[in-house]
Amino acid sequence: MILFLGLAVGIAAHVVYFGLHRPYDPGTLDGQLAWMKSELQLSDEQFQRIRELHEASSPRLRSLASQVAQMQSEFAAFENTRRNSDKVDFIEFAQFVEVRRNISRQCLDSTRRLVMAAAGEMTPEQRRQYFGIVSAAAPEASPLTN
């Protein structure tokens, strides 16, 4: 009887504690920011300002992401046409490259602005850690912190 009671209490304690300290959900902005708060030990004020910065830039970043995705699908269609018809419209391709380069530059600028603005709310130690996280996650992706 006592054995079962102990077992039940142990399991209940485990489940409740695990439920209260559930790992952050990587699929949502809330989960990512909560993880960042814990990782960088941000204060509530810092967290609030950084959250506002991310929420403010989120629509533009989403719009740019959809433009990039559209450019990728256009490029795939362009490449498909070139393979099938063996013809290349160099003027169209040059325009495409120019637009893509322009969007990429906007993406980089937006991201860099957001990273710098968020870093501006942090202490030097937090900033150093934040840049470490950002560059360690994508060393070859983009020179965000340069």
Partner 1 sequence: MAGVMRAARPTLPRTAMSLPPDPLDRLLERWDEPGRESPDLSPEVWRRINQDARKPRGVTAWWAEIDAWLTRPPFAALFVACCALLGLFLAEVRVNHQQREQSALLARSYLQLIDPLLKADAAAKAP
Segment lying near partner 1 (by CB under 8 A), choices 41-49, 64-72, 77-85, 91-99: 64-72
**What is the CB neighbour count within 10 angstroms for residue 62?**
10
In angstroms, the CA 49 to CA 118 distance is 8
Is 108 a residue that touches partner 1 (CB under 8 A)?
yes
Nearer to partner 1, 42 or 114 (CB): 114
34: Cβ contacts below 8 Å, ≥ 6 apart: 24
17 lies in the site for partner 1, by CB under 8 A: yes
What is the number of other CB atoms lying within 10 angstroms of the CB of residue 12? 10
Residue 145 engages partner 1 in binding (rule: CB under 8 A): no
Residue 3's contacts (CB-CB under 8 Å, 6 or more residues apart) are none
Region near partner 1 per CB under 8 A, out of 40-48, 54-62, 81-89, 90-98 = 54-62
Q: Which residue, 43 or 71, has its beta carbon nearer to partner 1?
A: 71
CA distance 75 to 8: 59
Q: Contacts with partner 1: how many residues (CB under 8 A)?
A: 52
Among 56, 69, 97, 116, which residue interacts with partner 1 (rule: CB under 8 A)?
Answer: 69
134 contacts partner 1 (rule: CB under 8 A): yes
- 65-97: string of b/e by CB count within 10 Å (b at 16+)? eebeeebeeeeeeeeeeeeeeeeeeeeeeeeee
- Using CB under 8 A as the binding rule, whether residue 96 contacts partner 1 is answered as no
Q: Which is nearer to partner 1, 114 or 122 (CB)?
A: 114
Phi/psi zone of residue 2: left (φ > 0), alpha (ψ -120 to 50 degrees), beta? alpha
- Least Å distance, CB 125 to partner 1, is 18
CA distance 141 to 36: 20
Footprint of partner 1 on this chain (CB under 8 A)?
A: 2-3, 5-7, 9-15, 17-18, 21-24, 26-27, 29, 31-32, 35-36, 39, 54, 57-58, 61-62, 64-65, 67-69, 72, 104, 107-108, 110-111, 114-115, 133-134, 136-138, 141-142, 144
